[in-house]
Amino acid sequence: MNTINNLVYAVYPNSTGFGFVYMENARKLIDYGSVRINPISNRKLLARIIKDLKYFRPTILILNDPEGISSRTGRRTKNLISKVLEFAKSENLTHVQYSRDQIRDVFKEFNATTKYEISQVLIQEFTELEPKRPKERKLWDSECRHMPIFEALSLAITWYYLKS
**pLDDT tens figures, 10-56:** 999 988 899 999 999 999 999 999 999 888 899 999 999 999 999 99
Q: Under a CB-based contact definition with an 8 Å cutoff, are residues 97 and 69 in contact? A: no
- Of the pLDDT bands very low, low, confident and very high (cuts 50, 70, 90), residue 136 is confident
Ordered strands of the 8-13 beta sheet:
28-36, 17-25, 8-13, 60-64, 94-98
Burial label for 22, CB within 10 Å (0-12, 13-18, 19+), is buried
Confirm whether 2 is domain-assigned: no
More confident residue, 94 or 3: 94
Confirm whether 75 is domain-assigned: yes
Confirm whether 3 is domain-assigned: no
Q: Is 101 helix (H, G, I), strand (E, B) or coil?
A: helix
Residue at 55: amino acid letter = Y
Confirm whether 146 is domain-assigned: yes
**pLDDT tens figures, 106-131:** 999 999 999 999 999 999 999 999 99
pLDDT greater than 80 at residue 5: no
Mean pLDDT of 2-9: 76
Residues spanned by the domain of 82: 8-163
Closest Cα to residue 77, out of 88, 66, 89? 66
**CA–CA separation, 161 vs 133, rounded Å?**
23
Q: pTM value?
A: 0.92
Confirm whether 19 is domain-assigned: yes
Q: Under a CB-based contact definition with an 8 Å cutoff, are residues 148 and 14 in contact? A: yes
Confirm whether 102 is domain-assigned: yes
Closest Cα to residue 153, out of 9, 3, 50, 1? 9
